[in-house]
Amino acid sequence: MIELIRKLVEAWGPSGYEHQVRELIRAEVADLADEITVDPLGNLICRVGQGGPKVMIAAHMDEIGVMANYVEPNSGYMRFTNIGGVLATTLLGHRVRFENGVTGVIAAPDMFGAARTTAPDLDEFFIDVSDGSGSNPVQVGSPATFWRTFEQRGTRLISKSMDDRIGCVVAIEAMRRLKKAKKKKSANEIYFVFTVQEEVGLRGAGPAAFGIAPDLAIALDVTATGDTIKNAKMEVKLGGGAAIKVHDSRHVVPPAVVNWMVAQAEADGIPYQKELLTLGSTDAAGIQITRAGVPSGCISIPCRFVHTTSETIDSNDLEACIKLLTGLLSKPAVL
């Protein structure tokens, strides 16, 4: 599983430009699904089983990034805008990678003055993409992702884009385990959806849900933790198990969905913790208001340093999330 994680988190795929990640995932699930389609927005939809309750599982493929929007005369420095929730405090000195392979370095005026202690506004930053030839290898309108390699430190897994490639890993691993344990007939008609454009407003999940018309949905995403110094108070911690969402800024999870997940975790002896997130949301918020409404919940992977190039999860929590999802889907999903 580690090599799958490495492959996905190091892949290039900002919101709206998920095609490279989609092809990596399609190759991983080719033998695990009964039907694979790509909808007009670019969501990868993988059906497993036929008949029974229709359950949608959503994990988003995209990641935050930037887009070059202006070239400074003479210097060639690139100004840029954000793609998703970019944090200005994380930018100075970081690297970005464009789809053509060019790596740029983010800088700001007065790097050893005010910018050293106070984050400038986003429009003051620029990207150095110079290659010494005097030409500019990046065009206006080119998107880029933040760049950092995957690292492992004991049970801690560290990388950019754990949000939400690690949710994609949970979905893929659940598909593998369900196939391995498959009986004559699947308990549910499951749609594993690897969604697009979550980071820019949950844009992919809603249309996918509209087409699928599920009876029930589960999003897979990361969540913040409350276990760092002077952090916002929150019960979720690394190593505490799968996080079962109760509430976030856009989603009140139906109690029946929470109880269903808790009962499964307790029956299987899976460590879990309840998640109440005051900032942020997931694809489940978009799915729940599709058509006449879809009961929707979320299994969250605890993650420190979200929306940085060093998002950190624990492999034990990852395993708990995979086991919980697999257990929920192994029998008819009836609330």
Res 185: pLDDT? 67
The model's pLDDT over 94-142, given as tens digits with 9 standing for 90+, comes to: 999 999 999 999 998 877 766 667 788 898 999 999 988 888 899 999 9
Longest dimension (CA), the chain: 68
Res 114: pLDDT? 64
What total number of domains does the chain contain?
A: 2
Res 109: pLDDT? 84
Residues 103 and 36 both lie in one domain: no
Residues 57 and 81 both lie in one domain: no
Is position 241 within any domain?
Answer: yes
Residues 278 and 267 both lie in one domain: yes
Where does a domain end: 87, 114, 146?
146
Is position 155 within any domain?
Answer: no
Residues 171 and 305 both lie in one domain: yes
Residues 287 and 141 both lie in one domain: no
Is position 117 within any domain?
Answer: yes
Is position 154 within any domain?
Answer: no
Given the residues 28, 198, 199, 275, the one annotated as active site: 198
Is position 153 within any domain?
Answer: no
Q: Is the peptide bond before 227 cis (omega within 30 degrees of 0)?
A: no
Is position 152 within any domain?
Answer: no
| Burial track 50-85 (b if 16+ CB lie within 10 A, e otherwise) | eebebbbbbbbbbbbbbbbeebeeeebbbbbebbbe
Contacts (Cβ under 8 Å, ≥6 apart) of 193: 43, 44, 45, 46, 56, 57, 58, 59, 205, 208, 212
Q: Is 198 a catalytic residue?
A: yes
Of 295, 140, 284, 263, the C-alpha closest to 220 is 284
* C-alpha count within 13 angstroms, C-beta hemisphere, residue 212: 37
Residues 46 and 116 both lie in one domain: no
Contact criterion met (CB below 8 Å) for 162 and 150: no
Helix (H) or strand (E) holding 211: helix 205-212
The model's pLDDT over 145-195, given as tens digits with 9 standing for 90+, comes to: 999 999 999 999 999 999 999 999 999 999 999 998 876 567 899 999 999
Where does a domain end: 94, 113, 146?
146
Of 162, 301, 311, the C-alpha closest to 219 is 301
Residues 111 and 134 both lie in one domain: yes
CA distances from 278 to 95, 223, 249, 304 (A): 30, 11, 6, 15
Where does a domain end: 146, 176, 210?
146
Res 215: pLDDT? 97
Residues 185 and 134 both lie in one domain: no
In angstroms, rounded to a whole number, what is the distance separating the alpha carbons of residues 56 and 287? 9
pTM: 0.95
Is position 40 within any domain?
Answer: yes
Residues 87 and 10 both lie in one domain: no
Domain that holds residue 227: 2-63+160-329
With a cut of 50, which residues of the chain have pLDDT below it? none
Residues 213 and 323 both lie in one domain: yes
Contacts (Cβ under 8 Å, ≥6 apart) of 30: 36
Residues 315 and 227 both lie in one domain: yes
Is position 334 within any domain?
Answer: no
Res 318: pLDDT? 98
Res 183: pLDDT? 60
Contact criterion met (CB below 8 Å) for 101 and 182: no
Contact criterion met (CB below 8 Å) for 122 and 88: yes
Contact criterion met (CB below 8 Å) for 137 and 121: no
CATH number of the domain at 92, please. Answer: 2.40.30.40
Residues 315 and 201 both lie in one domain: yes
CATH number of the domain at 174, please. Answer: 3.40.630.10
